[in-house]
A and B are shown apart, each in its own frame.
Chain A
Amino acid sequence: MQVRVLVRLKPGVLDPQGRAVHHALEGLGFAGVEDVRIGRLIELDVADGTDRAAITAMCEKLLANTVIESFTIETDGETAGQTAGAQG
């Protein structure tokens, strides 16, 4: 089962990397970019039936630092996502 974990800096946490990329986009002449925030995509290949709680625990213990980051978990198929979401 493919799982995608999106890790993002929480709102309000300074993202100097995103700011630098924002400036670089402006320097390349791209107008209208209001903000840039850089996160991390982690793709996991886990055993079928791995429950949402286990993936959430992976995120909380290692994949994200919840002091500064939030995470969302995406699994193949909406049903799995919704079911797991109720558990998580």
Chain B
Amino acid sequence: MAFRAAVITFPGSNCDRDMASALEAVSGQPAIRVWHGDADLPSGLDLIALPGGFSYGDYLRSGAMAATSPIMRAVVAAADRGVPVLGVCNGFQVLTEARLLPGALLRNAGQRFICRTVALTAENTASLFTSAYTQGETIRIPVAHHDGNYYADADTLDRIEGEGLVAFRYAESCNGSARDIAGVLSANGRVLGMMPHPERAIEPAAVPALGGHDGRRLFESILAQLTTA
């Protein structure tokens, strides 16, 4: 089975290798690495992944500078064609700044950088990213962020909740996010942004110190979608 995933690296990305490694571990296929300054994406992609990190040193706003980089024009065009896009942590911030996802990520309400494994509730399990989870299931995935406090105005929150676009919610107090939202889908369900790091939770259950394995099913969902589509 061919699976073509691209991982974008911005200056300051620091989870790009983790993301590529997770994709390779789950799919058995090498991930294609793409530099932010490239104007074009490889053809025939099944997934575009925007990794975590501190792109452009978080200048101006987290994700704001990366959203203007040449490759993001190609990512937006690909998303418009329905190519699945996954943004994790800084990748989520980039996706909101690029307006591929609603809302914005503010400084954590407690001002502190939060780096720990948190409990999440799987809310939407119908999407191509989340089909391997059970609705309402509690999973544990690490977070590591300073700006993860999800914000959108009340009308937007009502709309995304009404349309079932909340993918994951924090099951415990985390960063002050509106309605405890940890992950959001685009209206067509083919773009997912989330603050927790599924790529850090793909190791076997026997090695809990490595972040657990609850993130693995996110990548397995994408693969399953690809083979059944």
Contact = CB atoms under 8 A, between A and B. Distances in A.
B149 interface: yes
A56 B90 CA distance: 27
B106 A13 contact: yes
B177 to A, nearest CB: 11
B152 A67 contact: yes
Interface in B115-158: 149, 151-153
B164 interface: no
Contacts of B36: none
A65 B176 CA distance: 19
A15 B121 CA distance: 27
Main DSSP-derived SS at the B contact region: loop
Contacts of B106: 13-14, 16, 68
A17 B151 contact: no
Interface footprint category on A: 10 to 19
B104 A14 contact: no
Contact of B107 (A16, A63, A65, A67): A16
B60 interface: yes
A20 interface: yes
Contacts of A65: 61, 64, 97, 104
Given A67-B96, A67-B151, A68-B151, A17 B111 contact: yes
Interface in B77-112: 96-97, 102-104, 106-111
Contacts of B60: 62-63
B221 to A, nearest CB: 28
Interface in A1-43: 13-14, 16-17, 20
Given A14-B149, A67-B151, A68-B151, 15 more contacts: A13-B106, A13-B151, A14-B151, A16-B106, A16-B107, A16-B109, A16-B149, A20-B111, A62-B60, A62-B64, A62-B68, A65-B104, A67-B103, A67-B104, A67-B153
22 contacts: A14-B106, A14-B109, A14-B151, A14-B176, A16-B107, A16-B109, A16-B111, A16-B149, A16-B176, A17-B107, A17-B111, A20-B111, A61-B68, A62-B60, A62-B64, A65-B61, A65-B64, A67-B96, A67-B104, A67-B152, A67-B153, A68-B151
Interface of A: 13-14, 16-17, 20, 61-63, 65, 67-68
